[in-house]
Every structure is written in structure tokens, then in C-alpha cells.
Amino acid sequence: MAGTFSGTTETDGDWVNLLPEVILSHPQMGENIGASARAMKNCGLNNLHLVAPRDGWPNPAAEAMASGGADLLETAGIYDTTRDAAAPFTLIAATTARRRGMAKPILSPRDAAQRLIEHKSQGGRTALLFGAERSGLDNDEVALADIIITVPLNPAFSSLNLAQAVLLMGWECRMAAMMDAPADPPPPWPAAASQDKQFFFDALEKTLAEGGFFGTPDMQPGVMRNIKAMLNRADLTEQDISTLHGMVKAIKRSVKPSK
């Protein structure tokens, strides 16, 4: 399953320190814990806290599924209650499907991610809180949260599994933290100089005129402007210009002289 999709940067920046920790409340299947650890690792989240995992701890099924995220399982904190796990955090965001009639801010994943990153950058300690696979978070657990996240998925088919929910929130936090960091410089791009483009365009225009491309002479300037506009949209490089010169020569050579 590897290779479909992967990163291009060499190493993450200090902004990874702005990512939140994760609390899984009463997780049931070990596989889901392992898959959640993977998803965290994908996004650069490194601190996992488990509240009363149903099948005890450690859990071989979790380890088998975690793959490259296994180190998160080894260092995971284990707690009897969500209240214990939540204790040190200064901002907790709970993901929940149901509205609870509690007067808490309800945010989208994107807005919640921004809030979490900002809060930590100001010196706070932040956590994402996820409920059990089937039952979600109970009211007392939601009451521990400072903000509530709801995810606007397809109302006709909105359920995500636990690891997908962790991936989605981890991704949004990662994006929010990266954007907080200074942007990378643009990639080197040996753009063609104007004079080199004009030299090619002049040669092309001469050739096209010889081939009767322009219909009447008064159409020639407008048609050439359109051709230049098309090619200039390609952000031509120096290499492109020499490729284009070579293409015109080769097209000419393709004509059989026997005529």
C-alpha cells in the first residue's frame, strides 16, 4: 500500500512542535489504535494518550497495524479516565457527531486546527480528543473540551472510522502549522529571456508566412499575438525555446524532398 502518495520535503521544520497531542478515549479494536498511530505519524503528531483501551495494553493487534508508527505506541500514556488524560492540557478539542446543547464553540476542522496551532504557539498545551469507535464521547467527556469540532461530510454518508478521523484532523493541523512557518523559496526556474522568445517568435512567424498560414496579410499580427499568448502561458524556459527551434527544423525535415 506504500507509494501512492508521499511527501517531498526532506525534513520537517520546528513547526512540528506546534502540533497537538491526541487522546483516544476507550478505544476498542487494537487495529484502530494502530491505524490511528500511523495516521498521526503521517502528519507528524507524536504524542498519543490512551484512556482505558478495551483489550488492555500493550496490544499486539495495535502493534501489528501501527507499522512505522509503532514508536508512538511504545511511548503512549495510559489512563483510567478521560479526565486524567485531559488534566495537563490548556486547550482540548473534541470531535463529536452530536450537538450536546452545551455552549461551546463549534468549529470546522480547519478553524479548529488554526486555533490549536495558535494556542500552542503562545505556550499552551493542546490535545485532540476522540471517542470510542461506536459510542463516541459521552457528555462528561465533551464537557472537558474547550471547543467542539464537527466535520461537514456528506450528510447522506458521514461516518468515518477512527483512524480516518485522526488522519483528517492531523492533516488539517499539519497544514495550519506549516502555513504558520515561512514559505519555501520557489523552485529554480530557468525562464527564457524575452529576447530569446522574440527571436523564436520572429523565426516562427517567417516560416508560417512562407507556408501561407496567415490567410490575408492584415490577419497576420492578430494571429501571431494569439500564438504568442498560447506559448507564453506555458512559462517557457530556456530549454523549451531550444526545443521549439528544434521542432520547427524537424517538421521541415519531415517533408519528403521528392516533390
Residue 134: CB minimum distance to its own copies, A: 6
Binding to its own copies in span 183-212, by CB under 8 A = 188, 204, 207-208, 210-212
Binding to its own copies in span 239-258, by CB under 8 A = 240, 243, 246-255, 257
Q: Which of 47, 81, 136, 180 binds its own copies (CB under 8 A)?
A: 136
C-alpha distance from residue 101 to each of 105, 143, 146, 180 (Å): 11, 11, 14, 33
Binding to its own copies in span 92-121, by CB under 8 A = 95-97, 99, 103, 110
Query: Does residue 165 bind its own copies (CB under 8 A)?
Result: yes
C-alpha distance from residue 67 to each of 162, 180, 213 (Å): 17, 30, 62
Q: 3-class DSSP state for residue 226?
A: helix
Residue 67: CB minimum distance to its own copies, A: 8
Residue 240: CB minimum distance to its own copies, A: 5
Cβ distance to its own copies smaller for residue 57 or 214: 214
Q: Which of 56, 134, 185, 186 binds its own copies (CB under 8 A)?
A: 134
Distance, in Å, from the CA atom of 113 to the CA atom of 134, rounded to the nearest integer, reads 24
DSSP string across 36-58: HHHHHHHHT---EEEES-TT-SS
Distance, in Å, from the CA atom of 16 to the CA atom of 242, rounded to the nearest integer, reads 43
Query: Does residue 11 bind its own copies (CB under 8 A)?
Result: yes
